[in-house]
């Protein structure tokens, strides 16, 4: 028999996490699918579960001078409705799932699921997002890129909870997210791409490139990005073949039910080319 816990506030939630072995459920849109029964029986959870989606302390979004802070139980739809959520994140969420799913699904759930095809991860990596993680006795902050270690592998202790997603406030000349899927929304990506840049005096001062679903987690290489900084747009456009050769070894997709590795690799490289060709 599986126990389900519904804490009344965050303190009680952290106490339960400290004392019991439970699986966290936020919106449940991944958990329900992963634990569904194919026999028409009810959901087959194997562990006791802890529901966090009624915790008001985790449903806020606010900002200071440097960051936007998004509560772990705030739905994707509410993030899209917010005036302070980063534009790139809102554009990414618009391409995730359907409105019905977005009304319950959360950003922290997309992160906790740690799928290579998790759409929000691509834009969050691009923006150097961080997480606030709490347990009953500790609060820590970690970069998302250091939190996800591989396919469904995260560095979260059994008594810990993601409480906030923290996103630096950034200025980009242009930033965009592109999802390649069987149809937009309500389908998991075959692959995805996010690119952003900043220019001053015709020279690149910041450039960021990230790919989803072409490796065990998001591909973003800060050293390669640094090599592009200081170049003019014309110089970068003239280096396209070199740039794609830098990224080529990092793009190692797999064959699965959604796509195959040859298609994924070719499209990923084409999206990189398109991004560089369209720098203005
Ligand atoms: C029809 C459908 C379409 C979908 N389309 C997309 C899509 O287009 N793009 C996409 O990326 N995903 C998609 N998904 C997957 C899913 O909706 C997202 O990953 C969503 O963001 C998960 O959020 P959730 O709150 O429902 O997570 P849950 O299912 O509640 O949890 C997911 C995982 O995260 C953990 N977790 C949740 N919250 C926390 C927390 N605060 N601290 C620690 N761990 C936590 C859980 O323990 C679990 O392991 C789709 C799912 C469905 C069913």
Which pLDDT does position 35 carry in this prediction? 80
Burial class from Cβ neighbours inside 10 Å (0-12, 13-18, 19+) for residue 104 reads middle
**Ligand 1 binding pocket includes 112 (Cβ within 6 Å):** yes
Closest residue CA from atom 12 of ligand 1: 118
Closest residue CA from atom 5 of ligand 1: 97
Distance (Å) of CA 243 to CA 224, 225, 226, 236: 9, 10, 12, 8
Ligand 1 centroid to Cα of residue 61, in Å, is 19
Which pLDDT does position 186 carry in this prediction? 64
Ligand 1 centroid to Cα of residue 265, in Å, is 26
**Which residue bears the tokens 């303190």?**
11
Find, among 237, 195, 240, 236, the residue nearest to 219 by Cα: 195
**Ligand 1 binding pocket includes 30 (Cβ within 6 Å):** yes
pLDDT per residue rounded down to tens, the chain (280 residues): 889 999 999 999 999 999 999 999 999 999 988 887 666 666 667 789 999 999 999 999 999 999 999 999 999 999 999 999 999 999 999 999 999 999 999 999 999 999 999 999 999 999 999 999 999 999 999 999 999 999 999 999 999 999 999 999 998 989 999 999 876 556 788 999 999 999 999 899 999 999 999 999 999 999 999 999 999 999 999 999 999 999 999 999 988 888 899 999 999 999 999 999 999 9
Closest residue CA from atom 50 of ligand 1: 97
User: Token digits for 80?
Assistant: 């899209």
Ligand 1 centroid to Cα of residue 42, in Å, is 19
- CB half-sphere exposure, 172, CA atoms < 13 A: 19
Greatest extent of the chain over all pairs of C-alpha atoms, in Å: 65
**Ligand 1 binding pocket includes 55 (Cβ within 6 Å):** no
**3 state DSSP class of 171:** coil
Distance (Å) of CA 142 to CA 21, 107, 174, 258: 23, 16, 27, 31
The DSSP symbol for 155 reads -
- What torsion do the CA atoms of 222, 224, 227, 232 make, to the nearest 10 degrees? -100
Ligand 1 centroid to Cα of residue 114, in Å, is 9
**Ligand 1 binding pocket includes 75 (Cβ within 6 Å):** no
Cα–Cα distance, 15 to 228 (Å, whole number): 48
Query: Radius of gyration of the chain from Cα atoms?
Result: 20
Which pLDDT does position 183 carry in this prediction? 66
Q: List, in sequence order, every beta strand (DSSP E) within the chain.
A: 4-5, 22-25, 48-51, 61-63, 67-71, 130-134, 139-143, 148-150, 153-154, 161-168, 174-180, 191-200, 203-212
Cα–Cα distance, 260 to 66 (Å, whole number): 40
Q: Which domains does the chain have, with CATH numbers?
A: 4-168 (3.30.465.10), 174-277 (3.30.390.50)
Q: Strand order in 61-63's β-sheet?
A: 61-63, 67-71, 161-168, 130-134, 139-143
């Amino acid at each position: 028999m599986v126990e389900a816990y519904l804490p009344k506030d965050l303190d009680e939630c952290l106490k339960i996490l400290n004392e019991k072995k439970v699986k966290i459920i936020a919106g449940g849109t991944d958990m329900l699918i992963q634990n569904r029964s194919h026999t028409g029986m009810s959901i087959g959870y194997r562990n006791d579960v802890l529901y966090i989606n009624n915790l008001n302390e985790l449903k806020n979004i606010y900002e200071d001078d440097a960051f936007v802070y998004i509560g772990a139980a705030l739905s994707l739809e509410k993030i899209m409705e917010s005036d302070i959520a980063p534009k790139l994140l809102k554009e990414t969420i618009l391409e995730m799932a359907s409105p019905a799913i977005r009304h319950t699904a959360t950003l922290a759930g997309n992160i906790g699921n740690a799928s290579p095809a998790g759409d929000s991860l691509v834009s969050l990596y691009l923006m150097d997002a961080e997480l606030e993680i709490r347990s009953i006795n500790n609060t820590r902050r970690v970069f998302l890129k250091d939190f996800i270690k591989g396919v469904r592998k995260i560095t979260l202790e059994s008594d810990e909870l993601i409480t906030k997603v923290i996103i630096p406030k950034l200025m980009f000349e242009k930033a965009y997210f592109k999802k390649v899927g069987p149809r937009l929304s309500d389908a998991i990506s075959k692959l995805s791409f996010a690119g952003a840049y900043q220019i001053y005096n015709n020279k690149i001062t910041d450039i960021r490139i990230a790919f989803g679903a072409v490796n065990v987690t998001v591909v973003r290489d800060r050293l390669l990005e640094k090599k592009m900084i200081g170049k003019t747009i014309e110089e970068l456009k003239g280096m396209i073949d070199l740039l794609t050769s830098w990224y080529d070894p990092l793009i190692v997709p797999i064959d699965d039910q959604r796509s195959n590795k040859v298609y994924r690799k070719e499209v990923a490289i084409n999206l990189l080319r398109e991004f560089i060709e369209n720098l203005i």
